[in-house]
Structure 1
Amino acid sequence: MIVRRAGVGDVAVLAELRGVGAEELGSFAGWVAAHADSHLPFVAEIDGYVVGNAWLHVAERVPGNGAMDRWYGDVQSVMVREEYRNRGIGGALMAALLAEARGRGLLHVSVHSGRRAVDFYLRNGFGRHRQMLFWEPVTS
């Protein structure tokens, strides 16, 4: 297995893994290009076949507390093809993402997880945080 940063040549498989149809591929490719500095895709390959992906969103907090550079990350869109799950691929993707975060000196990395994946993130070094709060709009 190889885990690497995805490139321009991976846009079609990234779109497929996100459920983006062929009719929206051009728009997706434009979005990926426009967000290349802030949304970093990683892919896992086995024998040249992409079996999973994960994205690291990198963003900057307002300067303060004696620091002008206050960058953080957010894990997004982690997915391993069903037939390749439970082989350590998700963990390898997370290791690559977190190595990137360390290399960039990010303050922290967060993740908004579905219920089924909470244990996965806990096994990969994430912990619950008592100060993380969310607001969601009220829908009618």
Structure 2
Amino acid sequence: MRRETAARLVTGDWESIKEGAQAVRYDVFVVEQHVPLEMEWDEMDALSLHVVAYDDAGKAIGTGRLLPDGHIGRMAVRPEARNSGLGGRMLQALMDKARERGDQTVVLHAQTQAERFYQRHGFAREGEEFMEAGIAHVTMRRELC
């Protein structure tokens, strides 16, 4: 059964949103999925627009980023907030920001276990499965017009 979450979404640059985004990404990618720490942080964080979701207690429970070239990435939701609609809300917020700045298309590298989630949000798979940080991924694209 799906439960909705009343999380508050905040978008901003890396400096204004870093604390919440790092906390979620560290717990989900580094701890839970064993992504090497040195692969998680990169120079694109400072150039990207980020979204962070906060629960009623002010705890960061989800995050994602939109790169200058229209790639969406680093989408992560803490286990206690999964299957609540939060991932879709964050994804929509990033697509809205991409559309506002004039992007025609957004692209992402989806973990294969999340491919159906992105398909439900209008993304289509392109090409074959590949490995990234030791996790199987596929490239997916969505037109925004």
Q: Bigger radius of gyration, 1 or 2?
A: 1
Of 91, 98, 104, the residue aligned with 2:95 is 98
Alpha-carbon spacing, 1:12–1:119, altered in 2? closer, same or farther (3 Å): same
Give the structure 2 partner of residue 113 of structure 1: 110
1:4 aligns to 2:3 (yes or no):
no
Query: How many residues are aligned here?
Result: 112
Between stretches 6-15 and 82-91, larger displacement belongs to 6-15
Give the structure 1 partner of residue 48 of structure 2: 39
| SS of equivalent residue, structure 1 residue 125 | coil
1:82 aligns to 2:79 (yes or no):
yes
* Cα distance per residue 1:69-113 (max 9 Å; x no partner): xxxx01111000001100000000011001001101102100111
Alpha-carbon spacing, 1:85–1:134, altered in 2? closer, same or farther (3 Å): closer
Return the letter of the residue paired with 2:20: V
Give distance in 2, aligned partners of 1:15 and 1:78: 12
The Cα of 1:2 is off from its aligned counterpart by: 1.4
Bigger share in strand: 2
Give the structure 2 partner of residue 16 of structure 1: 23
Give distance in 2, aligned partners of 1:104 and 1:9: 20
**Runs of 4 or more above 6 Å deviation:** 133-136
Taking structure 1 as the reference length, what is the TM-score of the superposition?
0.67
Give distance in 2, aligned partners of 1:84 and 1:133: 30
Give distance in 1, aligned partners of 2:19 and 2:105: 30
Return the letter of the residue paired with 2:55: I
Return the letter of the residue paired with 1:17: V
